[in-house]
Structure 1
Amino acid sequence: MRTRLSCWAAAAALLTAAGGAVAAEGQVGSYFTAWSVEKEFRLKQFDQSGAAAGFTYLVYAFENVYKMPDGGYRCDSGRDAPDAGQGAGMYATYDYARRFAADESVDGSADRAGQPLAGNFHQLAQLKKRHPQLKVLVALGGGEWSRWFSAGAATAASRKALVASCIDLYLRGNLPLLDGHGGPGAAAGVFDGIDLDWEHPGPGDKANLTLLLEEFRRQLDALGGGKHYLLTSAVNSTDEKMQYTDPAAYSRSLDWINLMTYDFHGAWSAKGPTGFQSNLYSDPASGDASPRSVDSGVQRFIKAGVPANKIVVGVPFYARGWRGVGASNNGLYQPATGPAHGFEEGAEQYATIAAKKLTPFYHPLTRQLWTFDNGTFWTYDDPRVIRDKAEYVRTRGLAGMMSWALDQDDAAFSLSRAMLDVRRAP
């Protein structure tokens, strides 16, 4: 059996091999998506890579909030439902009813019919047994599934009911029966907290977002029984989104903020100009009217009253890109004809980009890289870029680093390993 000391010894070995010592603090986390099972990704790969020994948390994405027949808004589960563009999807089978074979499970055991917990939840539980330092949070909402947060947070009664339903499902683990799995307490102990991903608050949501997080904090503390349950939130780093929130107020309820310091540019601007999606610093030559960067996002939140030690810097494990790009400046800051082709239009996972072995160009001011090949431009983070960001986090006393998303790393988990630099001692 691996002990807590042996897990941290493995983390130390990873960092020492890279030439440094282990620091005593610094969060290192990633989002693990329910649907990554469709891409043949398994937590077993993460465990066997050695990278898991240095991580402090994972966030399971996503669970949804629904409008219920009685008019209330609550977490729910127990079935599968397509999105159909309505933000009403559900991945319950992936969550706790998909049966993993022995050769794909973390501990080498096969799921059986009738066992209370199977699926991704069971794999997370197995991973936690192997890595006692690892905390697992469940993410509520996300870019597509935040439809009912505004209504659910509108009154004290609706907030109380919404929060209670989520805690009952995911922390008490009372799952509806599905294909012989689930039942009272089936998922108890899997999750150590909740990550609220209300990504698109509107003009009328500022006070209610703060109140909703206060209600989560109150009920989590009441659940405690001597345990501190984590409460975090994934937050867009731009001024456009921050203007409808009160970071100084809501951050008091949080252990830390997962700051989404990426997607600064992308092929939603189909004709360009091309630009960096997760640059550490701004470039005056970019021509942006409002230059975006990791640093500007971090400074924005600190100025708004968020303590530096509650800010976790987010990094993307995917690229943004365009096609039909002119050759000037190796494609940087140039017009385009449309999104580059990837796993979705304008985006590609790091594993696929790295396998192409394209020549990278590194921008010394922004600390971002890009590639340009036959009119296709990609901007992304590689291990060097991530280590630059880790140094930034350490020297500024920030809380740590997180990524979206674990399954987009390469087979060697090169980006995940680079993130461990955030725990390196000065």
Structure 2
Amino acid sequence: MRRRTLSGLAIAACAFSLAATLAPAAHATGGHGKDHGGSHAGSAPAYKRVGYFTQWGVYGRDFQVKDLETSGAAAKLTHINYAFGNVSADGKCFTGNVPGEADAWADYVRPLDAAGSVDGVADTDDQALAGNFNQLRELKAKHPGLKVMISLGGWSWSTHFSDAARTAASRKAFVSSCIDLYIKGNLPVDGVRGGDGAAAGLFDGVDIDWEWPGSAGDSDTVHRPEDKRNFTALVHEFRTQLDAYAKSGAASRKGGHPGAKPRHYDLSAFVPTSPEKIDAGFDVPRIMRDVDFVNLQGYDFHVSGEKTTAQQSALYAKDDFSVDQTVRAWLRRGAPARKLVMGMPFYGQGWTGVTGGGDGLGQPATAPAPATWAAGYEDYKALKKLAESGTYKVHRNVRDGSAWLFDGTTLWTYDDPQVLRTKTAYIRDHRLGGAMFWSLDGDTDDGELMTAVDRGLSRR
């Protein structure tokens, strides 16, 4: 996934850079680099709608869990992936208040007043769970079918995945620590917050966002040739321990009700578009036995760090990365269509100093475009205003399913509702598992992109 280089602790910790996934091109700072598919029979809607909620978005962006309710997005989502959980140097899931590494304050310590709370009730000084975790719990109470997943890793926090997955013993210990922290909800004590079972019942599964097994990722991320084998074993260890915990009865005692049938914990992974990265790190037929779905990288095909402008998320493209190429690459390697969830960007990649004339695409550029949070990366809600300003012209390649803005000097490549309608038709036509979005804070206040996807997937 991608990461954002916003400012502050949360941002550094969680910037997803997907483009690096892709190849020679440098990754961007932004969200996922972030995909999905079908679930167990009788337990999932026809299509998954998976949105990433960024831990750090509650700061400078002031995007709160409550905004998912007021925008109408919560009612249209099937899954919220909470980005991110980190992996320590000793191969364990952990949290705390460690600048650039963990942010317990945002997760479960920070109190919300009545105006900022989903249920309209202010947090008290003595409750064990506050922050984003408590607000997500309140959101689930309003939407009983909504699932919340903890997403582990991302571009910046995949550093220690290879070490954690290296041996059978390390995998077992790693997965056990993640289940203890997030599924059992045993949070570290921070004043009155946290404690055993403080977040029990909140998380409905785990999303593995290792970027990338067997291939280079962020500059400090370890990767080894044996990562492919170890990733397969890690996925199986997660499936084994999640199922064992569900069957133990403890899951219904913590957050469920006595006598309830064992719950199923979802397991997903964020996976790349590059065929080279797929082959280096993913034994597709074997991991597909254990995951409920995978989230396909559907953006950052090209990023603003490159010297030439290009599409970042086209549905089709000749001799280039595209959504269709990604889907076909996974199908050819044995992935069931129903377990493939198409990633969609709620942001754009931008360049300035564009020369060469024409519509700006495929032309030299001097630098990433100025933007609100990070150069070369802009939320859809800001790009919509540019499109409506009269200064930029909206260009489309209807055949390829892509759109971009160009004012003669600055170009932004992005998805708007028209592009997303084309992509949702593709999901229906190819019987894929659904759609995923990086990230929910990039949408408009009234959830314009989320609504476009929901309507597109709801057509028969």
Q: Check whether the contact 1:327–1:375 (CA below 8 A) recurs between aligned residues.
A: no
Task: Report how far residue 329 of structure 1 moved.
Answer: 2.2
Question: Would you say 1:335 and 2:352 are equivalent positions?
Answer: no
Alignment match, 1:80: 97
CA distance in 2, matches of 1:333, 1:179: 55
C-alpha distance in structure 2 between counterparts of 1:349 and 1:327, whole Å: 26
Report the CA distance between 1:231 and its aligned residue: 0.3
2:230 equivalent to 1:208: yes
The answer on whether the counterparts of 2:76 and 2:450 sit within 8 Å (CA) in structure 1 is no
Quote the offset at 1:421 in angstroms.
Answer: 2.8
Instruction: Give the alignment's TM-score, normalised by structure 1.
Output: 0.88
Q: Which amino acid aligns with 1:29?
A: V
- CA deviations on 1:45-79 (whole Å, 9 max, x unpaired) are 221222321211110000101023xxxx10112x2
The structure 2 residue matched to 1:62, chosen from 76, 79, 84, is 84
Task: Quote how far apart the aligned CAs of 1:35 are.
Answer: 0.5
Q: Partner of 1:20 in structure 2?
A: none
**SS of aligned partner of 2:344:** strand
Alignment of 1:105-254 (within 5 A): 105-202=117-214, 203-225=225-247, 226-244=262-280, 245-254=282-291
Amino acid at match of 1:115: Q
Deviations 1:140-178 (A, max 9, x none): 000110011101101100000000000000000000111
Are 2:267 and 2:293, in contact at CA under 8 Å, matched by a contact in 1?
Answer: yes
Question: What's the CA shift string for 1:177-213, capped at 9, x where partnerless?
Answer: 1132000100001100000000111232110000000
1:277 maps to amino acid: Q
Amino acid at match of 1:82: P
Q: Distance in 2 between matches of 1:167 and 1:392?
A: 36
CA 1:403–1:364 in 2, change beyond 3 Å: closer, same or farther? same
Q: Is the 8 A contact 2:72 2:446 kept in 1?
A: no
Q: Which residue of 2 aligns with 1:5?
A: none
| Cross-structure match for 1:103 | 115
Deviation at 1:422, TM superposition (A): 4.5
Q: Distance in 2 between matches of 1:314 and 1:340?
A: 23
State the partner residue of 1:276: 311
Conserved? CA contact 1:400–1:422, under 8 Å: no
Q: How many residues align?
A: 386
Superposition deviation, residue 359 in structure 1: 2.7
| Amino acid corresponding to residue 193 of structure 1 in structure 2 | G
- In structure 1, the residue corresponding to 2:413 is in which secondary structure? strand
8 Å contact kept, 2:50–2:81: yes
* 2:323 corresponds to: 294
- Is the contact made by 2:87 and 2:152 (CA closer than 8 Å) also made in structure 1? yes
TM-score (norm 2): 0.82
Match of 2:13 in 1: none
Q: Which runs of 5+ in 2 are unaligned?
A: 1-43, 215-224, 248-261
Distance 2:316 2:274 in 1: 14
2:292 aligns with one of 255, 264, 268: 255
Deviations 1:253-275 (A, max 9, x none): 10000111110011221x21x11
Q: What displacement does 1:24 show?
A: 5.4
37-46 or 91-100: bigger deviation: 37-46
| Structure 2 Cα separation of the partners of residues 252 and 144 of structure 1 | 28
Partner residue, 2:333 = 304
Look up the SS of the partner of 2:92 in the other structure: strand
Conserved? CA contact 2:359–2:406, under 8 Å: yes
Q: Which amino acid aligns with 2:342?
A: V
Between 1 and 2, higher relative CO (CA 8 Å, sep ≥ 6) is seen in 2
Q: Deviations over 1:348-380 (max 9, x none)?
A: 111111122233111122110001014000000
> CA separation of 1:29/1:147 partners in 2, compared to 1, >3 Å: closer, same or farther?
same
What percent of counterpart residues are identical? Answer: 45
2:403 is matched with which residue: 354, 369, 380?
369
